[in-house]
Amino acid sequence: MSLWKSRVSAILGIVRAGETEHFVFGVKGFTWKLNDLKMQYRRLEIAYRATPTTELKTAIANHRKEIGSTLRMIERARSAEQQGLTDLPKDSCTISFNYDAAASWKTNVQGVWAEGKAGFGATCPGFTGEVYAYALAETTVNGGPYSKAVTDGPRSGANVTAYAYADANGVPSCHSYAYGSMTSSNLYPSSYSKAADNYLCPPPFTLLTVSITSGPTSIDLRTVTCKSVTWGATASGGTGVYTSYTWTLDGYVYATTTTGSYTTSICRSDWGGGFTLGVTVKDSSNATASNSRWVSVFEPICSDPCICGLVSTKAAIQPICP
């Protein structure tokens, strides 16, 4: 089945968050692609002036080749349109192709990455395709700009592929860009491409956790009826700030604080030997994390004369507890 059918000169595009995808054909379509490539070229030149590396110099040279190839496609499309060749018969022909681009920030360290790729395969005699891939990663390192660029192609043939990946560690300002393009080099050329842009490089995400870091693990009430106690909790990871700490005793909520500190009074006859102290922290994204510990409570044992004291009555010896 024909993948490219008769059309007038045009550009078809799909725009997603951070991504654009285009199908171009004819003089108008390839002229648009030429202008897009020139804009990418200017971006490479700016990066080279900031960090003049051999890698960027090679990328610029390869990008010039892709621009030159696009100029040839414009002339081929113009000739086809003048002759009325708006389709190419493809009897017993199998064509396959792919193109993709992705750009984002790293999750394990602070930085950015970009990946572009394209492929073309055909069994049609004399039918060839051209592929090109380009990836750029830019960050700030030690207060200055840092860039890494990788290009692959342009490369032509009946079965060809191109792949480019670039990454850079660093802090804002940061940017990553990827591009993958496949062009059919027949009498009436057409081209598919995808580009991805990213301008973020947040610090790596760490899982939200909380632990009870201070306060008693046991409370002695053998000589007092009640005792004021304070526990402290420390949170780490998560997103933004920690908005609340919810404290529970045996699963019941007793307090919600905006700091990691909780003070309360523990009295005799309330806890039957101890209780489970719990804390739950919430961060700016409403994510939560919890932790708990057992707290023992010691109360008087009235058969112990050293603790309670004894008094004799006519009926029996009775304990007197403070």
Distance CA 119, CA 133 (A): 10
241-268 tens-digit pLDDT: 999 999 999 999 999 999 999 999 999 8
Question: What is the rounded average pLDDT of the residues 293-317?
Answer: 65
Distance CA 40, CA 42 (A): 5
Instruction: Establish whether the linkage from the previous residue to 125 is cis, with ω within 30° of 0.
Output: no
For residue 113, pLDDT over 80 is answered with yes
Q: Which residues contact 34 (CB under 8 A, 6 or more apart)?
A: 67, 70, 71, 74
Instruction: Report how far apart, in Å, the C-alpha atoms of 46 and of each of 40, 57, 139 are.
Output: 10, 11, 14
| 211-220 CB contacts, 8 Å cutoff, 24+ apart | 211/291, 212/277, 212/279, 212/291, 212/292, 212/293, 215/277, 216/295, 217/293, 217/294, 217/295, 217/296, 218/274, 218/295, 218/296, 218/297, 218/298, 219/266, 219/295, 219/296, 219/297, 219/298, 220/298
Question: What is the rounded average pLDDT of the residues 27-50?
Answer: 93
- Minimum mean pLDDT range among 186-195, 237-246, 267-276: 186-195
What b-and-e string marks burial along 53-77, b requiring 16 or more CB atoms within 10 Å of the CB? Answer: eeebeebbebbeebbebbeebbebb
126-140 tens-digit pLDDT: 788 999 999 999 999
67-100 tens-digit pLDDT: 999 999 999 888 888 877 655 555 557 889 999 9
Contact 179, 150 (CB under 8 A): no
- Minimum mean pLDDT range among 8-12, 41-45, 260-264: 8-12
- HSE at residue 207, side-chain half, CA atoms within 13 A, is 4
DSSP-derived letter for residue 314 is S
**What's residue 303's pLDDT?**
57
**What's residue 311's pLDDT?**
45
Contact 242, 234 (CB under 8 A): no
Question: What is the rounded average pLDDT of the residues 149-176?
Answer: 96
229-240 tens-digit pLDDT: 999 999 999 988
Element containing residue 136 per DSSP (H, E)? strand 129-141
* CATH (one of 2.40.260.10, 2.160.20.60, 3.30.420.40, 2.60.40.10) for 209-319: 2.60.40.10
Instruction: Report how far apart, in Å, the C-alpha atoms of 119 and of each of 11, 122, 158, 250 are.
Output: 21, 11, 10, 62
The dihedrals phi and psi of 123, each to the nearest 5 degrees, come to: -105, 0
Q: How does the average pLDDT of the chain come out, rounded?
A: 87
Q: pTM for the full model?
A: 0.67
For residue 8, pLDDT over 50 is answered with no
Name the residue ranges covered by the structural domains of the chain: 10-198, 209-319
For residue 309, pLDDT over 60 is answered with no
Radius of gyration of the chain (CA): 35
* Max avg pLDDT among 239-243, 269-273, 307-311: 239-243
For residue 5, pLDDT over 50 is answered with no
Distance CA 157, CA 108 (A): 39
Single-letter amino acid, residue 75: E
Distance CA 238, CA 232 (A): 19
pLDDT band at 18 (very low <50, low <70, confident <90, very high): confident
**What's residue 7's pLDDT?**
44
Contact 135, 116 (CB under 8 A): yes
